[in-house]
Chains A and B, each alone.
Chain A
Amino acid sequence: MVAIADSVPKPVSRFRFILDRRSVLGSLMVAPAVLYVLLLVGLPFLMAVYYSLSAYTIYDPSWSFVGLDNFEDVVEDPVFRQTLYNTFIFTFGSQILGLILGKFGALVLLRPFPGRKLVRALVILPWAVPIALATVAWQWMFDSLYSVINWTLIALGLVTRSDAPNWLGTPHLAMLSVIVVNAWRFFPFAIVIFLAGITAIPQDVLDAATVDGAGFWRRNYQIIMPMILPIVAVGLIFGIVFTFTDLSIVFLMTMGGPVGATSVLGFAGFQTGIVSGDVSHGAAISLFMLPVLFIVVIVMLRFIRRREI
């Protein structure tokens, strides 16, 4: 009797004993998240690499290995070279414009004035609202016939109705338009990043510089800028990654047109791989994002490591 009663709690306690070991419970608790990410990010990533080295299309799902043929085809295509060039112009154009707007916006919002909270809340909107919806609003503002921008230009006497710009129908203007929309979408993020950096600078550092005779610009470029560099770098990395790989703005506003003038990597990968079903060439196009992503990840790691030390 006694022996039976004694033996019952033993397995329970052993189970508890294992779960009370930090390393065991820790691994168990982190496992679902790691598995999810490995299965649906890690594995697909490897599949994408293999696709790009095979002759796989949705019509011919054989996985025959063709080496670097797809990449060769892609690079030899002048349309693709145009796409690659466009992607860089799109990314860096919009990031530079976004950073400039962000820096000045942050300077403006640092100073207290009546209604600052309301202005701040409104300035966040372009970044908060789903980009596909905001893009549709811009498409309407750039409409070839009813553009409110053109209406204003005509009312100001800058252009006449007959030679009003066709924003999305002219190659250079179309590129300018998608850059402006993307910069518009990211500048609130840049403002917030700059504000977070600047307000984290201890006031006594700035006071000491002022006492030592540093003026506004000197404080700005020799104290504030170097001190907020890490946080701005992290923000910029996000901006570059999400712009370099973006598809939605171009897809909704120009469809890569006119004649490929605004086609970017994400869009070209989508058109080739999904719409045309040429999966292997689509994957090859998408993989051209990798070198940029690698650089970005390395920079990111340097800045994240810094916080542990």
Chain B
Amino acid sequence: MRRGSLTGVLQETSFYGAVAFFFVLAAFPFYWMVITSFKTNSDLYNVHVTPFWFHDPPTLDHFRYLFDKTLFTTWLLNSLIIGVCVTAITLVTALPAAYSLARMTGRKGEALGIGIFLTYLVPPTLLFLPLSRVIVDLGLQNSMWALVVVYPTFTIPFCTWLLMGFFKALPVEIEEAAIVDGCSLFGAFIKMAIPLSLPGILTVVIFTFTLTLQEFVYALTFISAAAQKPITLGVATDLVRGDVFFWGEIMAGALIASVPVAIAYNLFLDRFISGITGGAVK
């Protein structure tokens, strides 16, 4: 009896130890971002005190510097414009494609859908050389519009695949009833299928937006003008002057750019997973 409760206590302790381990592993770099971005420089570069907490009072200097003296707001705006445009392009192309592949083209459509999805796996590091040539031919070198053109190459395959799943889950009888009542095929898609799959569309909008925020390779390849950079690239490469890293500003910028993506992912995680595993589990 006593022995049993002792192993019980041991099990509990090791379990909560494991919880603590994962908690610290995942969250510490972000805690470190927060701490760094609010510390004064003298506190930041003092190796003789415990670095985990403030020794000078927290300061907003790094954030103020970021907004007043750097292109941070421009980068934020660039990312917003890129995100909105890419989302629009993706929705306009992927919605009809996914509906068609789910409903109208039968087995051939299934194969084509898999084919489109597989292009999501073609890596940027294989395509950036020819694409940079394409960008030059389009006259978009060093412009954020290059990213608006290129980002749909991975958002369209991904979102078409996600939306195919959503459309297949809709009961086909609703559209059939609409067609019997005199609606055209295309009308059934616009008036029935789209309103009914609004949750799916919202998921796609969120993920397209976060995918554009997370992208780094194409942005790095196509854009070197500071004022055209999206936020991820700007914070990661443009806040270093000479060889000096301004860690307070860099961490403040990284923090601001990370928060919205983190929230969006947590809200839409389950749909994302069922999307990419594509029903490998029944």
Contact = CB atoms under 8 A, between A and B. Distances in A.
Contacts of A90: none
Interface of B: 15-16, 18-19, 22-23, 25-27, 29-30, 32-33, 36, 44-45, 47, 50-52, 92-94, 96-97, 99-101, 103-105, 109-110, 112, 114, 116-119, 121-134, 149-150, 152-153, 156-157, 160, 184-186, 189, 210, 213-214, 216-217, 220-221, 232-233, 235-237, 245, 247, 250-251, 253-254, 257-258, 261-262, 264-266, 269, 273-274, 276-282
B258 A130 contact: yes
Contact of B124 (A29, A124, A245): A245
B220 A33 contact: no
B142 to A, nearest CB: 13
B129 A51 contact: yes
A140 B247 contact: yes
B278 A33 contact: no
A205 interface: no
A159 interface: no
A25 B104 contact: yes
A30 B100 contact: yes
A184 B25 contact: yes
Contacts, number: 295
A256 interface: no
Contacts of B23: 119, 122-123
Contacts of B282: 200, 307
B260 to A, nearest CB: 10
A252 B238 CA distance: 12
A133 B232 contact: yes
Closest 9 CB pairs of A and B: A26-B104, A245-B123, A128-B265, A47-B130, A266-B125, A33-B97, A29-B96, A44-B130, A29-B100
B22 A108 contact: yes
B93 A132 contact: no
A265 B217 CA distance: 13
Given A283-B130, A304-B278, 12 more contacts: A30-B109, A32-B93, A33-B96, A41-B122, A124-B265, A129-B262, A132-B232, A140-B247, A192-B269, A197-B281, A245-B124, A293-B122
